[in-house]
Amino acid sequence: MNFNGAFTALVTPFRDGAIDEDAYRNLIEWQIEQGIDGVVPCGTTGEAATMTHEEQGRVIRICVEQVKGRIPVIAGAGSNNTKEAIQLTQLAKDAGADATLQITPYYNKPTPGGIVAHFKAIAAECSIPMVLYNVPGRTGLNCLPATVAAVAKEVPEVKAVKEATGNLRQGAEVRELCGPDFALLSGDDFTVLPLLSVGGNGVISVVSNIAPKLMSDMCRAYREQDTAKALELSLKLAPLNRAMFLETNPIPVKTSLTYMGVTERTEFRLPLVPLLAENREPLQRVLKDAGLMS
């Protein structure tokens, strides 16, 4: 499993409340054509929190089938309920995912020992490479570097962390404590390039839904030590990064894909609702300035 480069946290297209399989397959194929390094179905951006287990399994299977082994698939399979996380992980493994993305238990706010025990329990029941997902803005819990290191030591299946704090000091400490074989992935599109500079391997990205080539090229340029090109591409991405968070993710990015003509319609599941009217023109302006919309 190669955790280097840009991985898109895929949106999930819906049609009349159901999974729009054709639109999803087309999105995945477009991502691959654009040079993305990997895809992540059923994450936060994919609205997995509103899916049944059956739907989640179907979305992962569709993704794996469409990818056909060309790039890695990291399937969202986390929960704040350890038993449910085990079930979702087995579901992702059965669907053929290469790895799973495991959010730290939200709302419960476990101790560091509880976090380690959570990941140990998942691995004991279903061994598959895992990415620990640290996103305190959504979970109410910051998994500190020492805890990430403890999980990595105690649970060999945990091969990487998606570090979504935007805190470069914390990211640098993860690299220091976890060593060179543990992958450090950004979960914050605003700080991908700085995180690469302190030892990061890549990103699980929202903005790469609409700009997969830009993000994957930036990561590749840095990896090839072309820092000037990496900086140039990072600056091109900056306005898009801001626009994708005009409102709660994935509202702007899903809307953008429709504006761009990549998807035919924009549909959300409650409690998410369509983009506010006053944000439509600013979003379209950013897309036009980036050459993503005519």
Residue 30 is predicted with a pLDDT of: 98
Residue 1 is predicted with a pLDDT of: 81
CB atoms within 10 A of CB 212: 23
**What tokens appear for 8 in the block?**
């898109």
Q: How many CA atoms lie within 13 A of 72 on its CB side?
A: 20
Q: Which residues are catalytic?
A: 133, 162
Token pair 């990415």 is found at 131
Question: What does pLDDT average to in each consecutive run of 10 residues of the chain (294 residues)?
Answer: 95 98 98 98 97 97 98 97 98 98 96 98 98 96 98 98 96 97 97 97 98 98 98 98 98 98 97 98 98 94
Residue 289 is predicted with a pLDDT of: 98
DSSP code for 111: -
Q: So where are the chain's domains?
A: 5-224
Residue 294 is predicted with a pLDDT of: 86
When the candidates are 3.30.56.10, 3.90.550.10, 3.40.50.150, 3.20.20.70, the CATH number that belongs to 5-224 is 3.20.20.70
Q: Which residues contribute to the annotated binding site for pyruvate?
A: 45, 204
Contact 144, 177 (CB under 8 A): no
